[in-house]
Amino acid sequence: MTALQRLLGIDLPIIQAPMAGVQVSALAVAVSNAGGLGSLPCAMLTADVMQRELAAIRAQTDKPFNVNFFCHVPPTPSEERQARWHEALAPYFTEFGIDPATIASGPGRMPFTAAAADLLAEFKPPIVSFHFGLPSAELMIRLRSWGAKIIASATTVTEARWLEAHGVDAVIAQGNEAGGHRGNFLSSDLTTQVGIADAKGVQAALSLGATAAQIGTAFLLCPEATTSALHREALKSEAATHTALTNVFTGRPARGIVNRIMRELGPISAATPEFPLATAAIGPLRAAAATCGGRKAWKQRLFAAMVRSEFHWMQRDRRSSADA
Ligand SMILES: Cc1cc2nc3c(=O)[nH]c(=O)nc-3n(C[C@H](O)[C@H](O)[C@H](O)COP(=O)(O)O)c2cc1C
């Protein structure tokens, strides 16, 4: 048993990475009940949903679980940058019949707040993790008041040391190959100096001195994840072997499967507003693509079924003419 397993009270040295937008409590419960550390990502949840999901976890497991938050500084919206972003996306809005006037302008992703800490106090999660730095010392003291262990992501040695100096119980070393947002917070330098190799590297990471591995992408195809059908298709296809760091989805570099908008506008675009303000305009395009992609996949399946049934009839015809 590693030191981190003892600290977190888990049987397996595996942390299921919190993944905002593709999972809620079901995946966290399944992983915690299996002996790893299940995580609930809260960056995209309203207070009501967070309450419901925390209650669902408490009702379905008595094992340790982790609740995760972002710690970014919310940007001041800039009309000029918003206009530049909408201009860059204009051809896509036209292609998918989206009226830019209908696009909401909210941030879509929230940092940890005192209100969230109040809500957590009701559920006393044993572990709380952070991405993009740490909250104020005052909020950290609140979390510690019920004995929560605090862990956070680092992408460089400087960030790892900073987290240690600010009293975290463990540092999550995010490698360059990690899916999702880079957790950098002390600089925008994307060079990685710490990190485990990849999912296959869990064993290697442990033998190199890590005390557990946090794995995200490998959980995206689990039935408990809320990953969309189109995203699942992409993850199972050859396309999944081509990933890049892109800011076009949120305004911050995140690793994703290379797709059309990444190829055409990025992968890194100067036109995006600050994180997370790029997400609002991407939302309707994501929804439209899921519908079109879903329809295309449905047509392909129908075509394949027709070919199969045609083949079946041809076989029958051939058999019956042979019998005759
Ligand atoms: C779809 C997706 C969403 C993510 N969302 C979050 C999040 O909300 N909070 C967080 O701390 N990390 C998030 N991450 C990053 C993970 O914590 C972790 O660094 C990464 O998944 C590990 O690499 P792997 O996906 O190759 O296993 C996300 C990763 C993915 C793939």
**Which structural domains are found in the chain, ordered by start?**
1-72+109-227 (3.20.20.70), 79-106+228-324 (no CATH)
For ligand 1, whether the C-beta of 133 sits within 6 Å is no
Give the C-alpha separation, 255 to 41, whole Å: 17
Q: What is the mean pLDDT of residues 216-220?
A: 91
How does pLDDT run across 231-252, given as a tens digit for each residue?
Answer: 999 999 999 888 899 999 999 9
Other CB atoms within a 10 A radius of the CB of residue 211 amount to 16
Other CB atoms within a 10 A radius of the CB of residue 26 amount to 18
For ligand 1, whether the C-beta of 179 sits within 6 Å is yes
Query: Rounded to whole angstroms, what are the CA distances from 19 to 69, 97, 158, 180, 228?
Result: 10, 30, 25, 8, 13
- Write the single-letter amino acid at 117: A
Q: What is the mean pLDDT of residues 163-170?
A: 96
State the pTM of this model.
Answer: 0.86
Give the C-alpha separation, 237 to 235, whole Å: 6
Instruction: Specify the 3-state DSSP secondary structure of 168.
Output: coil
For ligand 1, whether the C-beta of 216 sits within 6 Å is yes
Give the C-alpha separation, 5 to 139, whole Å: 25
Residue 15 main-chain phi, psi, to 5 deg: -105, 125
CA of 180 to the centre of ligand 1 (A): 5
Q: What is the mean pLDDT of residues 90-94?
A: 95
Q: What is the mean pLDDT of residues 295-305?
A: 63
The structure tokens listed for 194 are: 């710490």
Give the C-alpha separation, 221 to 231, whole Å: 9
What is the model's pLDDT at position 84?
Answer: 95
The number of C-alpha atoms within 13 Å of 188 and in the hemisphere containing its C-beta is 8
